[in-house]
Copies of this chain bind each other. A is one copy, B any other.
Amino acid sequence: MGRWEPGARGRLVVAAVDLFTEQGYDATTVSQIAERAGLTRSTFFRHFSDKRELLVAGQETLSKLLSDGIAEAPAGASPLEAVAAGLQRASTAMGPANRELGPRIKAAVAASSELQERDALKSVGMAAAMTVALVARGVPDPTAHLAGELGVLAFKRGYAQWSDGDQDDAGGLAQHALAALEDLRTATASLG
């Protein structure tokens, strides 16, 4: 078998999420994930160090895209405009495969307390990455912290709308995430 398997990484993620949903995260082994994806264990280990890492890898990529987008926003951008640039950058990395995966990941997370904890930590990691990137732009605390949390809420709400909605809807994730951010910005006026 050659060293390179086209699409192996994506096939492993889909197989893993399906198995997590069917039988739980704890009961799923690396061998089962590889078999379901039609790949070998050694191919799995060329992509991920273990099944936990399979979940973490996407999170680190996402956090980096969010902070890169924030860092590269124009100098005069407001905190939320910088967050919007981060959401836009992160959205470019999320294609049709991520969209189809959304409902499956949701089902897997609903079925596993361990995945709920990982998912919660993912949100905290994304918020922290955005907050740090905003502070580096000179946004003072707690505005930076608040804007980072709004960014996570907007990403999650936008992703849910994009992923749960009509798959023929041509709008990308960016469109949904930016609309969600605008809804949240508007909502700040009615907090009292």
Contacts and interface: CB of A to CB of B under 8 A. Distances in A.
A119 to B, nearest CB: 8
A187 interface: yes
Query: Which secondary structure dominates chain A's binding surface?
Result: helix
A124 interface: yes
Nearest to A81: B192
A149 interface: yes
A9 interface: no
Interface stretch (A36-44, A88-96, A139-147, A169-177): A139-147
A183 to B, nearest CB: 5
Nearest to A188: B188
Interface in A105-122: 116-118, 120-121
Interface residues of A, number: 30
Contact of A191 (B120, B123, B150, B157): B150
Interface string A117-158: 110110110000000000000000011011101100100010
Interface string A158-192: 00000000000000000000001001110110111
A146 to B, nearest CB: 5
Interface in A30-48: none
A80 interface: yes
A29 interface: no
A149 B142 CA distance: 13
Contact of A79 (B79, B150, B180, B192): B192
A159 to B, nearest CB: 14
What are the 3 tightest A-B residue pairs by CB atom distance, in nearest-first order? Answer: A78-B192, A117-B117, A120-B120
Contacts of A153: 142, 145-146, 149
